[in-house]
Structure 1
Amino acid sequence: MGRGKVNLKRIANPVSRQVTFSKRKAGLLKKTCELSVLCDAEIALFIFSPTGKLYEFGSPSMNKILGRYQRCCTSQEYYPKTADMEVLRSELEHLENSIGGLEKRQKHMIGEDLDSLSFKELQCLERKMEKGRKRIHSKKEKILGEHILMRKKLGGQHNVEAPVKIIDTVNTDPLESDGVNLSANLNLSLS
């Protein structure tokens, strides 16, 4: 049967406090030694009793561990170098500027924040958007054509489905350069 949970507060009785300190200190030193042996870890432990007495444990030795600690803390490798920090700051600034530029381009592509653009920049943006629109239109035609072929094949296999009419969902934007809409090009419907 396990022990109940001990309430962690200062023990008022000095004798009980000293007994608890001695027992817990012994347990802590034992666990520290076990951790060092089991995991091959270098460990230093300092304990000062309520009366001011020092207890210590060092594996492999206290002097070796303290020397290693001092070398580590005074080493330039332990602290980030100023030059490295400057490089990181510069890179962060560059990335923030890139993000700002991309956000601005995205707004332009959806027709927002156009007041800052010159006439030539607007023409360039219009050409880019037109190329993108044509690529989208072409992809939609390809998908629709594949869909029509698949429906014809399924219809040829005596597939009993509700009649399907292909409705033009392709761009009917008046800005379309060829002025012809896809349903007129395909002139197809399946019944």
Structure 2
Amino acid sequence: MADRKEKAAAVAAAAKERVGATLGAIWWAILLRGILAVGLAICAFVWPEKTLAIFIKLLGAYFLLDGVIGLISAYRSGEKTSPFVQAAVSLAIGLILLLWTGVSGKVFMILVGIWLVLQGFSLFYAAFRMSAAEAQRGLVMVIGGVMSLIGLVFVFWTDTGVVAISWLIGLGAMIIGILLIYLATRVKRLQAKVDSIGSSAA
């Protein structure tokens, strides 16, 4: 009987360690991405009249940072599919925006839209693979759906001026940033819950 309890405690501790490590690798990346998105939105709202070239470089730098954060998070969490796809897309489009000096406003909107659609689809797919019992599943699906819808607007609404582009990106970034920050707090609370369960099982 004692052996069974010890084995059960060992299994619980191992599971707790794996889940806790995964959550610990994810929540901070989600939070940082949310903060970066809100920061980008503020820049778009405060300086909507900036030239398109400056805004393209700003967004390119944002995509690069997002991609680096995604790679680190994917490596630490052990995930090999969805996070790496998101990171690769961010890095690729970030490099295109930074290195392609003659990109037009129309192409810029399409690239941003493609990034949003792919990121949203990747999040939605990740949520689809989650267990139906996971509390964060619905929220991740909502974030993925919102990103995809905003991305489609960008892809099909390309005939607009610099100020309108700035406001569109600012609005989209603010919505996504707030949702990501909220998701990060939920995941962080879940990690604390898992840690407490693991401690009581030990």
TM-score by length of 1: 0.25
Larger radius of gyration: 1
Structure ranking higher in strand proportion: 1
TM-score by length of 2: 0.24
**Higher RCO, 1 or 2 (CA under 8 Å, sep at least 6)?**
2
Structure ranking higher in helix proportion: 2
